[in-house]
Amino acid sequence: MLDINLLRNDPDKVRENIRKKFQDEKLPLVDEVIRMDREFRDAIQQADSLRNKRKTISKEIGALMGKGLKDEAEQKKAEVAAMADELAALEAKEEELKAEIRKRMLVIPNIIDDSVPIGKDDSENVEIQRYGEPVVPEWEIPYHVDIMERLSGIDLDAARRTSGNGFYYLMGDIARLHSAILSYARDFMIDRGFTYVVPPFMIHGNVVTGVMSFAEMENMMYKIEGEDLYLIGTSEHSMIGKFIDTILDESELPQTLTSYSPCFRKEVGAHGIEERGVYRIHQFEKQEMIVICKPEESPMWFDRLWQNTVDFFRTLDIPVRTLECCSGDLADLKVKSLDVEAWSPRQKKYFEVGSCSNLGDAQARRLQIRVKGADGSKYLAHTLNNTCVAPPRMLIAFLENNLKADGTVTIPEVLRPYMGFKDHIG
């Protein structure tokens, strides 16, 4: 959510940003907010003026009563009573305008960083760099579910009977591999100085609207019927919510956290749920990174976070590349975002396995996450998040890049302690 002062002082900047994100349908919101904000401030001034006038008349009533001028005092009391009705109407108008302004402000996109490439959608994202040599072996790489089934590692039919499409049973060495990757990711991030956290997997509605846009919320979140609780789509939601309505001392920054959680997503949209596969599903697990820091440090942390993911995948000898997300591919709260994509030998192309985002002070403003500076001043923190690894999607890259001609899967050395020191499965 933007600072209202930006719309008051530089509405053209907000309009230009909306155009850069190809959301011209939101342009009228700027004028609506400006008009409502003017009415809101006028209502506040009128209410303050009435309150001051009421105080003055109340003093006059006391003086008149002291002089025994009861009739005159009663007339003044009638004036005060009339003011009370007018004041109540103004206060109701204030609340109504405040709600309407916030409703629109939550939809107006955050100001993107100047370095973000301009483009309409993810087809115009810009490749930054490749890490590792993408290899296509001489033998055919089967579909990832076929690899898992040959290793007796997945049962989609049973999951479809119990839960529907978008769910799975992982079994045997594939299930163990899934857990091993998460355990390795946990220790990898701890070794990089991050504090390990297991957060709540459900959050209140005010936290949901604090961490994401309405469009994301509608397409992603599962609500618990009859309760003000939502299943998290990623641990970022719960982790950023941890700091709602808090004032952090500047000396406590940066907060560098790595969290494990299951994730639950409707996956409503163009892609849909695969009938047979684990790329886009309703339930998965993830190791996440979260940083809360001073505004001037967020660009540095942004680069550190995505580099962590690249380094993690390279320790498993999986080729990856980084993509700068264009303006039209950025969610409304994001200032800047970069995707990490892994190489798929079967498809002979890269696919997304993680996303790193700098949200500036947007989440902090919605959730009131403030920092107390050394001089006693208070300001909004910056928040960032990034995926370290998200099995089972990562399993696709892992299996395809480590599959041998005989159908066995090589276990990289760094993962063997988490796999009973096996060097392969199959």
Q: What is the structure's pLDDT at 74?
A: 66
Percent of the chain with pLDDT over 90: 82
The tens digit of pLDDT for each residue in 206-264 reads: 999 999 877 777 788 999 999 999 999 999 999 999 999 999 999 999 999 999 999 99
Secondary structure element (H or E) that encloses residue 36, with its range: helix 27-66
Residue 420 has pLDDT above 50, yes or no: yes
Q: How confident is the model at residue 62 (pLDDT cuts 50, 70, 90)?
A: confident
Percent of the chain with pLDDT over 70: 95
Whether a cis peptide bond, with omega within 30° of 0, leads into 412 is no
- E-strand ranges in 98-157 read 126-131, 154-155
* Alpha-carbon gap, residue 110 to 107, rounded angstroms: 9
* Alpha-carbon gap, residue 50 to 58, rounded angstroms: 12
> Quick check: helix, strand or coil at residue 166?
coil
**Residue 292, phi then psi, degrees to nearest 5:** -120, 125
* Alpha-carbon gap, residue 372 to 355, rounded angstroms: 30
Residue 130 has pLDDT above 70, yes or no: yes
Q: How confident is the model at residue 270 (pLDDT cuts 50, 70, 90)?
A: very low
Q: Report the pLDDT averaged over residues 30-36.
A: 97
**Residue 154, phi then psi, degrees to nearest 5:** -150, 145
Q: Report the pLDDT averaged over residues 384-406.
A: 94
Q: Report the pLDDT averaged over residues 291-300.
A: 98
- Two tokens, residue 190: 């701890």
Phi-psi map region of 421: left, alpha, beta (phi>0 left; psi -120 to 50 alpha): left
Show the domains of the chain with their CATH numbers: 4-105 (1.10.287.40), 122-425 (3.30.930.10)
What is the C-alpha end-to-end distance of the chain, expressed in Å?
51
Type of residue at 77: K
Residue 126 has pLDDT above 90, yes or no: yes
The tens digit of pLDDT for each residue in 352-390 reads: 999 999 999 999 999 999 999 999 999 999 999 999 999
